[in-house]
Amino acid sequence: MVKVVTDNDFAAETDTGVVLTDFWATWCGPCRMQSPVVEKLEETMKDVKFTKMDVDANPDTPRDFGIQAIPTLLVKKDGKPVEQIVGYHTKDQLEEILNKYTA
């Protein structure tokens, strides 16, 4: 299960290892397409932690990272942002990106 994070626990939940956070909103069509892809990846990529954040309920974190469009996927490694991916991406595309940080 992809862990839901908030402005309050985002830093603590994403400070170790490789973490992908899916920034989304309930009204966003492409976000609803992206979520199942992230959930599928979570089943197979055990060395990556997957989280998601509703940007409407948690405005501070997206603002801190300059996120202006959703879906945006933020990849952090050991607490440092290493990649920001905007728009819908396939499982293969995301796997390729994440493999750069887990190898």
DSSP string, 44-73: H-TTEEEEEEETTT--HHHHHTT--SSSEE
31 is catalytic: yes
Kindly name the residue from 5, 18, 19, 31 that is annotated as catalytic: 31
Kindly name the residue from 18, 19, 28, 48 that is annotated as catalytic: 28
Just list the catalytic residues: 28, 31
